[in-house]
């Protein structure tokens, strides 16, 4: 069997992703869920944070991004494709890098489209109040939306690699994001500010009362993702396919 270098390995991983319907469906659900819930939040924004009202749907779009990251990795374990992948790319670190790139780049691209669409939908539903957020804040929110969704997808991919199970990763991440974050939603200035989703979503706010700012919050989310990816790489290297 021909041993692949990184560019053809990346191409092979992208072919796997785009030929599996659940993964394409999860990717398509990112903008659909985000924009739909952002538009609804914009209708009832009132005097709330206008920027976050426009991007409120990210709370739901991130679930689709996480599902995309988990299914892209878990398919390797369920179908036995990992053995063939590692036979073609014996350097496990190169294969894992190709897999993560094939996950991250589509989510980043879809995240940018999602951010722009959510911005337009949110600004339309909040009406004249959209002027309460500055152009720089709208740009930050749009770019932050794309980066945040990408980080969450890669976090899910890393955790799935560690657990070798998409169901296991989803059973941890989805309840955590839907329950823990909402329970702690009104708590500021403590350890809750450093949770991956809470920290990363600061970039979607016009103002914040917590410890972290927009970019330091994304940096904290990136550290969570880096830890999950590093653990996943270790798991790939020490375990048989």
pLDDT digits (tens, 9 = 90+) for 194-214: 889 989 999 998 887 778 899
Q: Which of 101-115, 137-151, 186-200, 220-234 has the lowest mean pLDDT?
A: 186-200
CB atoms within 10 A of CB 174: 16
Residue 1 lies in a domain: no
Q: Which two tokens stand for residue 68?
A: 């995309």
Residue 60 lies in a domain: yes
Parent domain of 139:
6-238
Residue 153 lies in a domain: yes
Q: Is 151 exposed, middle or buried (0-12, 13-18, 19+ CB in 10 A)?
A: buried
Q: How many domains does the chain have?
A: 1
Give the confidence band of 157 by pLDDT, cuts at 50, 70, 90: very high
Backbone Cα Rg of the chain: 18
Axis-axis angle for helices 58-79, 81-88 (nearest 10): 80
Q: Which two tokens stand for residue 227?
A: 């830890």
Residue 189 lies in a domain: yes
Residue 181 lies in a domain: yes
Distances (CA, A) of 179 to 175, 193, 197, 208: 5, 15, 12, 21
| pLDDT one-digit tens code per residue, 78-127 | 766 777 777 777 788 888 999 999 999 999 999 999 999 988 887 777 66
Spatial contact of 130 and 45, defined as CB atoms under 8 Å apart: no
Spatial contact of 222 and 148, defined as CB atoms under 8 Å apart: no
Q: Around 70, how many Cα atoms within 13 Å sit in the side-chain half-sphere?
A: 23
């Amino acid at each position: 069997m021909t041993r692949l270098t990184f560019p053809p390995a990346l191409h092979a991983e992208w072919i796997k992703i785009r030929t599996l319907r659940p993964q394409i469906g999860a990717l398509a659900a990112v903008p659909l869920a985000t924009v739909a819930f952002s538009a609804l939040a914009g209708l009832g924004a009132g005097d709330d944070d206008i920027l976050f009202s426009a991007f409120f749907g990210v709370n739901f779009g991130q679930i689709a991004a996480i599902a995309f990251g988990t299914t892209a990795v878990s398919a390797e374990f369920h179908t036995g494709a990992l053995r063939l992948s590692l036979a073609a790319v014996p350097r496990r670190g190169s294969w894992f890098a190709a897999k993560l790139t094939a996950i991250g780049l589509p989510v980043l691209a879809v995240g940018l489209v999602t951010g722009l669409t959510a911005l337009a939908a949110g600004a339309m539903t909040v009406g004249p109040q959209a002027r309460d957020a500055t152009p720089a804040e709208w740009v930050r929110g749009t770019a932050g939306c794309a980066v945040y969704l990408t980080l969450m997808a890669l976090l899910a991919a890393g955790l799935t690699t560690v657990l070798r199970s998409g169901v296991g990763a989803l059973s941890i991440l989805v309840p955590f994001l839907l329950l823990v974050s909402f329970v702690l939603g009104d708590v500021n200035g403590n350890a809750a500010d450093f949770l991956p989703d809470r920290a990363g979503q600061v970039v979607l706010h016009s103002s914040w009362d917590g410890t972290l700012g927009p970019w330091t919050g994304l940096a904290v989310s990136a550290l969570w993702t880096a830890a999950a990816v590093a653990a996943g790489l270790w798991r790939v290297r020490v375990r048989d396919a």
